[in-house]
Amino acid sequence: MRLTGISGNIACAMKQIFAPWRMEYIVSKKPEGCVFCDLPRAGVSEETLVLFKGERAFVIMNRYPYVSGHLMVVPYRHLEHVLLLDPEEWAEMNRLVVSCVQALKAVYQPHGFNIGMNVGQAAGAGIHEHIHTHIIPRWTGDNNLVPVMTETRVIPESLEETWRKLIPEFRKEKKEEKKQES
């Protein structure tokens, strides 16, 4: 029995309807240099999708998420392996992972989280030359049959909308940090 044909077309249509960002990713001109080095320099904004800039690391939204609210914590230094991180960078990255979980919990109330790093191309890292930690909110049933079959995820809101919902949580954080310093 041939399962391609119609089902293949449906899958294709689904991708275009629910995940236009995937197409955008495929046809987009890959920027030269490193986005994780360039974007924090350009600042916190809806365009860069940077949400928070710490001393040694920053928080940025994934531009091509499989689920809304997919965040990443990234050190400023262009390092390709966790073994190159110094203890201060590790400490700040861990603090920022907690901040991401708090922000996502406050805004989206997910049922769970995937938190982790892919180190190296063999491990599936997209931008393997600059390490980063993924924080992905999860909902019971978000991994159901339709997305699995069509390799798509339903993104219920735009990236800008997600950024605008999350930024107040990270601004709160900055104020609290300043309070502690003074």
Q: 107 to 166, contacts with Zn ion by CB under 5 A?
A: 130
Among 14-22, 27-35, 92-100, 104-112, the segment contacting Zn ion (CB under 5 A):
27-35
37 belongs to the binding site for Zn ion (CB under 5 A): yes
Tokens of 164: 């605008």
Site string for Zn ion, 75-114 (x = CB under 5 A): ---x------------------------------------
Residue at token pair 């997910």: 110
Among 12, 13, 34, 146, binds Zn ion (CB under 5 A): 34
Task: Let me know how long the chain is.
Answer: 182
Is-contact 34 129, C-beta < 8 A?
A: yes
78, 111, 128, 132: which one is catalytic? 132
Instruction: Write the burial class of residue 153 (CB in 10 Å: 0-12 exposed, 13-18 middle, 19+ buried).
Output: buried
- Closest CB 9 distance from Zn ion, rounded Å: 39
Our measurement of the distance from residue 169's CA atom to the centroid of its chain's CA atoms, rounded to an integer in Å, reads 16
Residue at token pair 């914590």: 73
Question: Could you give the residue numbers annotated as active site?
Answer: 132
